[in-house]
Amino acid sequence: MDRIEFSVNGRQYSVGADVDSDVSLNDYLRNVLNLRGTKYMCQEGGCGACIVAVTTVDQFGNKRTFSVNSCLVSITSCEGWEVTTVEGIGGRGRYHRVQKTLAEYNGSQCGYCSPGWVMSMYSLLEANNYKLTKDEIEKSFGSNTCRCTGYRPILDAFKSFAKDVPDIEDLSLCKDKACSSKYDDWCFIEEKTIEDKIKQINLKDGNVWYRVYKIEDVFEVIKTKGTNPYMLINGNTGKGVFPILRYPKILIDISSIDELKTYYIDQNLVIGAGMSITNVMDLFKEISEKKEEFKYLKKMYEHLELVAHIPVRNIGTVGGNLMLKHKHPIFPSDIFLLFEAVSATIAIRNDKEIVEMDLQKFLSTDMSGKILTEIKLPPLSSNYHFVSFKIMPRSQNAPAQINAAFLYELDRVKETVLSSTIVIGGLSVKFVHAQKTEDYLRGKKLFTNETLQAALRVLEKEIIVKEMKGYSKAEYRKKCALGLFYKVRKGSE
């Protein structure tokens, strides 16, 4: 019988027919292993109380440590993972320096959130070789919630790890050398060749979990089991946005398909749909610095920093995000918005062929028996001007109330618009492009008051905005959208 094997704090475990499909890593840690240091609260990837560190070896053989929300991860997704909980990094008499520093800066009161903060910071330090800036540390704060201490002492504690302030060892608050080296004696992944044979686990609740290694494996499972009902699972972070009340009978874990995690540049930048948002961000940053025609990816990187938070981005994939938009058109996907604004195309595979299409067509395509494999982002000359915005109720870790992306192709000599793309999310389920405004702007001087006023009138008329559950008033969102259109001009001055 196939089983899923992983380790927690250095000890090997495995699961198989003894678990249900809705058992999360958090349930397993707390209820089976009795490791109650890992807490839970929201169960939807929002509060960070459940964060643990995970170390894996990626498809290039590199060892990576990253944080995950254990409440979102199915225990059956943990194949080959080296999980570290707060108990694994330190405890009474052997506290890790992250724990000590948090205490010394008075960053904990009731303490319920503290393990999550500690594991979030620990993972970030490990992932970045203990070289972080204050800014990077502050931006990571969207991952966790604290209800009683207040964020200032926690921020002060963690900022002391930044490399753009004196080294932690030099700070008077942490002089105990004994607390500095406990983290390297426990967590090692043995590099082993993972068998690339499909694993099948008949779960306790009657559902069947398949772990597949090639795209063809997906079709093999579908061929034998049929398409109804089934679900492809990678990071499973979408569950935080749209809870899964009942898992379908067939669950296909595609997180080990390396082919979905690669990228290449022909003329376009082609990214695998299974790349995590974190990996895509790193890639965007790197390519935007090296290639003029992909400079706009830097702006996308900055926008992606506002998508969910680090642990979700670490395992949530770009393809999964697009599929969530496909399944729930109300979802104001920032990834859909950004990619649609630059007219990205996607590749969809079934067992016979690969079909390429634009993202709007994808939204109305039946994806049963198919898999989204690649996204192609085009190169853009310096005549293009790309801007995007996200309006949310908090500055971090919140879905968009309104998001918008604008791409203008300009005739630099005449200063007129050759073409434009205006994509606005969060208005209504149907509204995507401000097509009439795009048409109106063609041939006009973009940044004159006359053009702007007239375009705003066109935009106001064509916007379809609906009252939607969980969103602010329709009138407010409409005004926001108009304001963002105006803001492009302000940002260009």
C-beta closer to ligand FES: residue 47 or 434: 47
Q: Residue 116: which residues within 8 A CB-CB, separation 6 or more?
A: 38, 39, 47, 48, 49, 50, 51, 143, 144
Choosing from 16, 37, 45, 88, the residue that interacts with ligand FES (CB under 6 A) is 45
Rounded Cα–Cα distance for residues 307 and 335 (Å): 9
If the CB atoms of residues 103 and 363 are measured against ligand FES, the closer one turns out to be 103
Residue 422 near residue 431, CB atoms below 8 Å: no
Residue 263 near ligand FES by CB under 6 A? no
**Shortest distance, position 9 Cβ to ligand FES, whole Å:** 19
Shortest separation between residue 179's beta carbon and ligand FES, angstroms? 21
DSSP state at residue 141: G
Closest CA to 117 of 309, 263, 363, 290: 309
**281 makes contact with ligand FES (CB under 6 A):** no
Which one of residues 46, 90, 142, 274 is an interface residue with ligand FES (CB under 6 A)? 46
Q: Which of 147, 328, 361, 442 binds ligand FES (CB under 6 A)?
A: 147
What is the number of other CB atoms lying within 10 angstroms of the CB of residue 353? Answer: 8
Residue 155 and residue 24: Cα distance in Å, rounded? 30
Nearest distance from C-beta of residue 288 to ligand FES, angstroms: 31
One-letter amino acid of 333: S
Question: Which helix (H) or strand (E) covers residue 4, if one does?
Answer: strand 4-8
Nearer to ligand FES, 46 or 274 (CB): 46
Query: Which residues, numbered 464-493, are part of the site for ligand FES (CB under 6 A)?
Result: none
Nearest approach in angstroms of CB 290 to ligand FES is 36
Q: Which residues contact 185 (CB under 8 A, 6 or more apart)?
A: none
Nearer to ligand FES, 276 or 373 (CB): 276
Judged by CB under 6 A, the residue of 2, 32, 40, 363 near ligand FES is 40
- CA–CA separation, 121 vs 395, rounded Å? 19
Extended beta strands in 392-455, E state: 402-411, 416-425
Q: Determine if 124 is a binding residue for ligand FES (CB under 6 A).
A: no
**According to the binding rule CB under 6 A, does residue 110 interact with ligand FES?**
yes
Measure the CA–CA gap between 313 and 327, rounded to whole angstroms.
20
| Alpha carbon distance, N-terminus to C-terminus of the chain | 65
Least distance from C-beta 112 to ligand FES, angstroms? 5
Contacts to ligand FES from residues 51-90, by CB under 6 A: 69, 71
Listing DSSP states for 66-85 in one string gives EEEETTTSBGGG-TT-EEE-
Amino acid found at 211: R
157 binds ligand FES (CB under 6 A): no
151 lies in the site for ligand FES, by CB under 6 A: no
Instruction: Confirm or reject binding of residue 401 to ligand FES (CB under 6 A).
Output: no
Task: Tell me the closest approach of the beta carbon of residue 144 to ligand FES, in angstroms.
Answer: 8
Q: Any contact of residue 200 with ligand FES (CB under 6 A)?
A: no
Determine, following the binding rule CB under 6 A, whether residue 316 of this chain makes contact with ligand FES: no
Contact with ligand FES (CB under 6 A) among 4, 8, 35, 47: 47
Is 149 a binder of ligand FES (CB under 6 A)? yes
Among the listed residues 101, 108, 255, 317, the single contact to ligand FES using CB under 6 A = 108
Interaction of residue 106 with ligand FES, rule CB under 6 A? no
For residues 410 and 386, is the Cβ–Cβ distance under 8 A?
A: no
Residue 318: φ, ψ to 5°: -65, -40
Three-state DSSP state, 270 = strand
Q: Where on the chain is the footprint of ligand FES (CB under 6 A)?
A: 40-43, 45-50, 69, 71, 108-114, 146-149
